[in-house]
Structure 1
Amino acid sequence: MELNDKNDKIWEFIKNHEQDNPAQLVLKQKLFPDLPLKEIASQIASRQKAKTKLPEWYAEKVWFPPKLSLEQCSSEPTAKFKANLISGHSFADLTGGFGIDTFYLSQNLSKSHYVDQQEELCELAQYNFKVLNANIEIHHSQSEEFLNSIQKPLDWIYLDPARRGDRNQKVFLWEDCSPNLVELLPLLFEKAKNIMVKAAPMQDISRAITELENKVKAVYIIELKGEVKELLYILSKEMVKNPEIQTVQISENGIPIFSYRGDKSKEAESSIDYELPQQYLYEPSPAMMKAALFKQLAQDFQLSKLHPNTHLFTSNEIKEDFPGRVFKIIGQSPVQKKELKKHLPEMKANLASRNFPMPIAQLKKKLYLKDGGKHYLFATTLKNEEKVVLICKKDL
């Protein structure tokens, strides 16, 4: 079925069956002989996932890609956040894919290009951009071919290199991604004033910067709903000794709720105190954990750390604006069921492990601990190497 053949009858069917099980729907082809049920079922499966990830596109008659492409694309909030980082006249997304980033990034520029080597995705983007009234030029081309065709440097180039290898396995080194960003760097700097690159949250930031010949001036660690969603690298034509590292927690509208800036040089020069647990316990947010700016965090919020390898902080005065979770410490116990029960008679709590030599599942079994309740337990190692369970409450 051609994209321009997606008529009102098909859309009405999709709307009426959007909650159905796609696998079961395919088996009903005989009941609907005039409809391409296999394609429609695939569409419904994608729309079910897109409902929360891409609500604005879900509300339109947008045709979604297969599930894998949808999983790899940016969410609406992260795309909106990135759009606020760029400005100027011209922009190109060299890895257009489904087109989410292209669509939102293009809204702040007057001339936008979508580039992708897959013809099917180009056709899909062409159809969807028309539905969304987006003025974006489509290029079915390899990244390098498109760059060589440019006469005048663009204000911004954006890339989200594919992070799956030949056998569909996940990869994290730039040289293993497609396109190979390391090889493409000289041409990118020749053709653009500014370059933004998206990477997977699990990528090693220090190694990624080194691979890019230290031509990174800023790194953004984007957190949404308590999870690091992506890393962004803003590149520089010149070498940068200490790129800025910025953690950003964003809302569902892509608006920053909290941000924190630092760099590895300042981190190396900073000092930190180690103390036994005081009145309050601080657990850094996932973005702060990824940034690993623990000494700067401790200095800025006047906190002490429990142990060099325990990324938990403590203080006697509450720091309510701390970027992460804050707990009131109400007790401390050895890692023994009998002792813990004195503090927690119901033996029901939310258990976390931080720098502790026993897996969570094994520890729960050892303590006969049930999940849930209002108490939070942290099995951890203190500065004197003692292994303990900290008993906390969140309602400060």
Structure 2
Amino acid sequence: MNKNILSPEVQSFIRQHAHENASGIALKKSPFGQVSSSELAQQINGWQKVSTKIPEWLERSKVLYFPEKLNLEQSSSARTGKFKASLLSPNSNVLDLTGGFGVDSYYFAKQANKVLHCEINRELSQIVAYNLGELGLNNIQFHAGDGIALLISSHERYDYIYADPSRRVKNQKVFRLEDCEPNILASQSLFFQHSDILVTKLAPLLDISGALHVLPNVKDVYVISIENDCKELLFVQEKSFQGIPTIHAVRLSTEVPQLFSFNYVQEKEAAPVFGEPTNFLYDPDVAITKAGAFKSIATVFHLQKLHQHSHLYTSYDLIREFPGRIFRIHRVVSFSVFKKNVDITKANIISKNFPLKVEDLRKKFKIKEGGEDYLYFTTLFDDRHVVVYGKRVF
């Protein structure tokens, strides 16, 4: 950690060039003798990342220090950090086993009584300790070392152990649970010696069912999305829990988090009604589809499903609470009729359970992207290919 970066003149330079291309800064000669151009580029890149992920850190006009780009890539955003903190009991004691850039520890500390941030990268641990102190938090302790080694040598107990294992090993991304570092599967008994509740953040691409087969005592799974983009999977394990896990699809796109909860037994037993498009078309958020609530979402909201594999729904009356995009249907035509008389030149095209991809449809029918009109190319329950014309309501 080069403390010369914290000087007023260097900080002024960083703010003046905060919106420029960091790579361009790296190629220029540094105006400072003790701060290299690559270090300036690193700070500018970090400022840009944080301004998107955790803007409130910059609103305080504090002098922060940003680590290497790789250390920022896996860090949580403000919205996911706040949501995770909301799952904690007030005045609790939390161990952040793989603290990283410290975003989760920051929000945990606002809810918990005490947080221990562990980070095996000593320089990163030093940076986080400085930043969170600068941001005014005094209930976080820092351990610059291996969190698992700390547990092995300790008798301390925590209300929660939180882990965010690295999904980049030897400069390659990994997605299987056993390939992440640290290998949390190998330390399950150790974790439960020190806490009754384990919370693990995992890659959005991870297979949920596969993880449930190898992780014991899973009580809750949270599938978290922002703007229809799946950001995180959270697995909450409780030492004494032996029941059926509850799956929560969480949308953080609205001011108040929107949750849809179910379990896989309910999903298996759900019997949705199939029907043709009526007045409204519903396209579920990615959190719903990633969670696997394909039938449950229809039965809970009393919607008709268009096809077993289309994962699109319809209703006569508007269901505002539906977790996803909602469209008012203007008309529905068979694909064979559409092909003979393409009467639209610009629209947003979505292809679901349909033989042709979006790019193929655009090229074939010369339809430009954009505008207020939406075209859903899909398949109905009787295997008819149709095109649904609509405009977005929500």
* Short-chain TM bin: over 0.9
Partner of residue 265, structure 2: 265
Q: CA deviation at 1:395?
A: 4.4
Whole-angstrom distance in 2 between the partners of 1:300 and 1:89: 35
User: Residue type matched to 1:49 in 2?
Assistant: K
Partner of residue 73, structure 1: 75
Whole-angstrom distance in 1 between the partners of 2:172 and 2:3: 30
Q: CA deviation at 1:383?
A: 0.8
Partner of residue 203, structure 2: 200
Residues 235 and 2 (structure 1), Cα distance of their counterparts in 2 relative to 1, 3 Å cut: same
Whole-angstrom distance in 1 between the partners of 2:31 and 2:270: 70
- For the 8 Å contact 1:341–1:347, the answer to whether it is kept is no
Partner of residue 275, structure 2: 275
Partner of residue 360, structure 1: 358
Whole-angstrom distance in 1 between the partners of 2:227 and 2:133: 32
Q: CA deviation at 1:36?
A: 2.6
Q: CA deviation at 1:5?
A: 6.1
Whole-angstrom distance in 2 between the partners of 1:83 and 1:239: 21
Alignment of 1:139-178 (within 5 A): 139-166=143-170, 168-178=171-181
Alignment of 1:222-371 (within 5 A): 222-238=224-240, 240-250=242-252, 256-335=256-335, 339=338, 342=341, 345-371=343-369
Whole-angstrom distance in 2 between the partners of 1:339 and 1:359: 16
Whole-angstrom distance in 1 between the partners of 2:46 and 2:375: 38
User: Residue type matched to 1:250 in 2?
Assistant: L
Partner of residue 86, structure 2: 84
Alignment of 1:127 onto 2:130: yes
Q: Taking every aligned residue pair, what percent have the same amino acid on both sides?
A: 37
Gaps of 5+ in 1: none
User: Residue type matched to 2:193 in 1?
Assistant: E
Identify which of 89, 94, 101 aligns with 1:98. Answer: 101
Q: CA deviation at 1:58?
A: 2.6
TM (normalized to structure 1)? 0.93
Whole-angstrom distance in 2 between the partners of 1:382 and 1:200: 33
Whole-angstrom distance in 2 between the partners of 1:191 and 1:122: 22
Task: State the number of aligned residues.
Answer: 390
State the SS of the aligned residue for 2:205. coil
Q: CA deviation at 1:198?
A: 0.6
TM (normalized to structure 2)? 0.93
Gaps of 5+ in 2: none
Whole-angstrom distance in 1 between the partners of 2:278 and 2:4: 65
User: Residue type matched to 1:235 in 2?
Assistant: Q
State the SS of the aligned residue for 1:320. coil
Residues 30 and 2 (structure 1), Cα distance of their counterparts in 2 relative to 1, 3 Å cut: closer
User: Residue type matched to 1:216 in 2?
Assistant: V
Alignment of 1:53 onto 2:53: yes
RMSD (Å) for aligned C-alpha atoms: 2.0
Whole-angstrom distance in 1 between the partners of 2:127 and 2:3: 7
Q: CA deviation at 1:346?
A: 3.7
User: Residue type matched to 2:307 in 1?
Assistant: H
Q: CA deviation at 1:178?
A: 0.7
Give a deviation string over 1:23-63, Cα, whole Å, max 9, x none.
22234326544543220111101211221211122332111
Whole-angstrom distance in 1 between the partners of 2:320 and 2:113: 42
- For the 8 Å contact 1:216–1:235, the answer to whether it is kept is yes
